[in-house]
Structure 1
Amino acid sequence: MSDPTPVFDDLREESDELDRLVAGLSPGQWALATPAPGWSVAHQIAHLAWTDRSALLAVTDADGFHALVEKALAAPDSFVDQGAEEGARLPPGELLERWREGRTALDKALRTAPPGARFPWYGPPMSGASMATGRLMETWAHGQDVADALGVVRTPTDRLRHVVRIGVRARDFAFAARGLPVPGEEIRVEVRGPSGELWAYGPEDASQRVTGPALDFCLLVTQRAHRADLAVRAEGPDADRWLDIAQAFAGPPGAGRAPKGATG
């Protein structure tokens, strides 16, 4: 079993980077609209705080987490958004502190969990490393919404490797979530990380391929940008279809983002 410490460290660094982005914001900036319809900067941070605490419950109190899942099943279209709405109504300082406390507690719980432990989640049970990877993906994606609202261009890091990996592993889920047949043929994925390293997945001799910058691939699979605005390329019909529907997150298909310049 590989050491999960590096992904725990990367999650902490990703969270700290977003924290630095929002810590000095004025109340008016917390209220700025983000690209997610109806969500302000405060909603984005409140959502992360709520989900971090849900993950903490999954790691430390399985029965309590299962009770939370029952509530989610009773209101599948509004349960998660309700948590963001409630948190966004808090004063910014209180919301920020809630997020910090929750993610710190989750970090400690993951690091002290028994080796090999698996925890319940909204899908299949997850290892500590997988839980941290999912939290990193969400933190990066919602941080992108915050950065866009503030007009900030973030410097990408090789922490994106975790987001790429989730996006690749979620390929079949993206098809199944839309009721589409899962491709029977393997797809080779080759993306270039911010440091210049090539990250590759799938057989080298696959006839279908996806290539491009890791940042663009991450924006695509988290549905933070439209395919037309990204330098991600596909070879083969299944690979091409995948880029239209890719998602790295669990749950129903998202609406995605409109191409730049689109109206209506």
Structure 2
Amino acid sequence: MAGMDEAVAELAAEHGDLDALLAGLADDRWLLPTPAEGWDIRDQVSHLADTNDICVDTITGGPRPLNEEALKFPTPEAFTQSGVDKGRAMTPAAVLDWWRTSAARNRDVLLQKDARDRVPWGLGMSAKMMATARMMETWAHAGDVRGALGMEPSATPRLRGIAFLTLRAVPYALSYAKVEQPAGTLRADLTYNGETWPIGPDDADNVITGDALEFCRLGIRRASRAQTSTLKAQGALAEAALDNLRAFL
């Protein structure tokens, strides 16, 4: 559908990168601990597979849409853990097949939507932003898999979409942290491979500058602000944003 091809192509590329890490991985290496405390590689992939399924049901009106499924659990952590527990009862090969099948279905249903169609995921987002959100989620957990395998996080031009999503999520992130949003408008000027990516209004009176990878890792909560070296804030809103970035629900 209109406007979805590029977003879903980026999601497919992120899926492909993770698949390349997992294909041929010996069973014992699926049990390697990842940087996420208590989770091994199988847990990371199980979480992605389960949330892929939930995304499909949210879009298609299936039996487990997010905003209904999450209410069945006492806490968000318990909801997340339920998907991990499914995978712990499966072999690595079965988890890989589950993830591959769910990822393909996720791409297929997104391609049936118009970019502007609304998806009731959390507070709601466009179908195009949903594709970017699934790309962000895949990149985040693939980074944990890479960490378990002794590899650095990947940094591709797809970071631009993740950075855009992260900046758009600043009001949600501040609300989640129970921080009153300072007045003003916000832009991020992020560097990647010698380029500068301006994200946000040209006339913004608050500006974040720095490395795109650092910004995105801060947004997925894989780094703290104290662990970054390039990110700078100009203005109270920019300061609050960097202190509380959160790209996911």
Common topology (TM > 0.5):
yes
* Residue number in structure 1 paired with 2:239: 240
Task: Extract unaligned runs of 5+ from structure 1.
Answer: 251-264
CA contact (8 A) 1:10 1:136 kept: yes
Q: Secondary structure at the match of 1:34?
A: coil
CA contact (8 A) 1:30 1:40 kept: yes
Rounded Cα–Cα distance in structure 2 between residues aligned with 1:114 and 1:198: 30
Counterpart amino acid of residue 108 in structure 2: K
Counterpart amino acid of residue 234 in structure 1: A
Rounded Cα–Cα distance in structure 2 between residues aligned with 1:122 and 1:221: 17
CA distance 1:24–1:36, shift in 2 (3 Å): same
* Residue number in structure 1 paired with 2:166: 167
CA contact (8 A) 2:3 2:115 kept: no
Moved more, 135-144 or 201-210: 201-210
Q: Secondary structure at the match of 2:188?
A: strand
Cα deviations by residue, 1:39-58 (Å, 9 ceiling, x for unpaired): 11111100000011111111
Rounded Cα–Cα distance in structure 1 between residues aligned with 2:127 and 2:244: 28
* Residue number in structure 2 paired with 1:123: 123
Whose relative contact order is higher, 1 or 2, with alpha carbons under 8 Å and at least 6 apart? 2
Residue 88 (structure 1) shift: 3.2
CA contact (8 A) 2:2 2:115 kept: no
CA distance 1:241–1:118, shift in 2 (3 Å): closer
Rounded Cα–Cα distance in structure 1 between residues aligned with 2:139 and 2:117: 25
Rounded Cα–Cα distance in structure 2 between residues aligned with 1:15 and 1:56: 16
Rounded Cα–Cα distance in structure 2 between residues aligned with 1:88 and 1:183: 44
TM-score (norm 2): 0.91
Residue 73 (structure 1) shift: 1.2
Q: Secondary structure at the match of 1:39?
A: coil
CA contact (8 A) 1:52 1:106 kept: yes
Rounded Cα–Cα distance in structure 1 between residues aligned with 2:221 and 2:117: 31
* Residue number in structure 2 paired with 1:93: 93
Task: Extract unaligned runs of 5+ from structure 2.
Answer: none
Residue 121 (structure 1) shift: 1.7
Q: Secondary structure at the match of 1:153?
A: coil
How many correspondences in the alignment?
246
* Residue number in structure 2 paired with 1:224: 222
Residue 202 (structure 1) shift: 3.1
Question: Aligned ranges for residues 133-172 of structure 1 at < 5 Å?
Answer: 133-172=132-171
Q: Secondary structure at the match of 1:192?
A: strand
Q: Secondary structure at the match of 2:29?
A: helix
Residue 228 (structure 1) shift: 2.1
* Residue number in structure 2 paired with 1:51: 51
Q: Secondary structure at the match of 1:123?
A: coil
Which residue of 68, 72, 75 maps to 1:74?
A: 72
Residue 158 (structure 1) shift: 0.5
1:178 aligns with 2:164: no
Moved more, 81-90 or 110-119: 110-119
TM-score (norm 1): 0.86
Rounded Cα–Cα distance in structure 2 between residues aligned with 1:37 and 1:120: 30
Rounded Cα–Cα distance in structure 1 between residues aligned with 2:188 and 2:100: 35
Rounded Cα–Cα distance in structure 2 between residues aligned with 1:217 and 1:116: 26
Rounded Cα–Cα distance in structure 2 between residues aligned with 1:116 and 1:247: 23
Q: Secondary structure at the match of 1:84?
A: helix
* Residue number in structure 1 paired with 2:19: 19
Residue 162 (structure 1) shift: 1.1
CA distance 1:56–1:205, shift in 2 (3 Å): closer
Question: Aligned ranges for residues 193-232 of structure 1 at < 5 Å?
Answer: 193-194=192-193, 196-230=194-228, 231-232=230-231
CA distance 1:236–1:50, shift in 2 (3 Å): same
Residue 229 (structure 1) shift: 2.2
Residue 244 (structure 1) shift: 1.6
Counterpart amino acid of residue 137 in structure 1: M
CA contact (8 A) 1:65 1:120 kept: no
RMSD: 1.9
CA contact (8 A) 1:56 1:106 kept: yes
